[in-house]
Each structure stands twice: as C-alpha cells, then as structure tokens.
Amino acid sequence: MNQPYYEPKDLEDFPNITEYAQPKGNAFFSYYNKATSAGKLTEREKSLIALAVATVRHCPYCIDAYTNKCLSLGLDNDEMMEAVHVAAAMAAGDTLAHATQMRKIIKKKEM
C-alpha cells in the first residue's frame, strides 16, 4: 500500500474533479478551455506557453498533458525543449532581477 503520490492515472481523473463542488468545477473548465484553445494566439503557441508554465511550476500532470498535446500538434523535440529553456532562463532571470534590490542597498551604503 505504499502507492506513490504522483501517478499518471491521477491525470486521467482530472476531468472528474467536477464530481464535487460541480458548479465551480464546470466554471473552471469553461475558463480553462477558453484560455487554452485557439483564439488570437494559435493552439501551437498556447501549447508551448502551457508546457513552459507547467515545467516552471513543477506540475507533472501538466507536463504530461502538454508534452502529449505538443507532440500531437507536430511540434518537434527541439521546439519543445526551447520553450522549456525560456521558462528556465526566466526563473534564473527573475531571481537575478531581484538582486538589483540587493545592489541598491549596497550602493547606498557605499556612498
């Protein structure tokens, strides 16, 4: 009974979260579907964004879902990995951007 917490079958259960608190679940999926399906941006563009966000937020379920979605849209391995590198570079970059606040304090002390 030492079943791991994170399993692919949880992802299969995702559509069923509407079982409890149904009106909220339905409203979520209505938003989610509108937000992630083609609009002014293409499905390809949105799937790359979703893959990047899934990875930077460490969500295995979403990485699974959007890896498969990207593959089904014909995106190749380099393109998908480039999207992940944007997310990774941003995560490092936003950390370093906050180092400018450290620098402001250092500079003020040095004056």
Residues 43-72 that bind its own copies (CB under 8 A): 45-46, 48-64, 67-68, 71
Minimum gap (Å) between residue 88 Cβ and its own copies = 4
Chain positions 69 to 108 lying near its own copies, rule: CB under 8 A, are 71, 76-106
What gap in Å lies between CA 10 and CA 101, rounded to an integer?
Answer: 41
Minimum gap (Å) between residue 19 Cβ and its own copies = 8
Distance of CA 68 to the CA centre of its chain: 14
Chain positions 5 to 34 lying near its own copies, rule: CB under 8 A, are 5-11, 13-14, 16-17, 19-21, 23-25, 27-28, 30-32, 34
Cβ nearer to its own copies, comparing 41 with 73: 41
**How far, CA to CA in Å, does 14 sit from each of 36, 58, 70, 98, 109?**
16, 17, 19, 36, 53
Q: Which amino acid is located at 97 in the chain?
A: A
Q: How many residues bind its own copies (CB under 8 A)?
A: 86
What gap in Å lies between CA 103 and CA 111, rounded to an integer?
Answer: 12
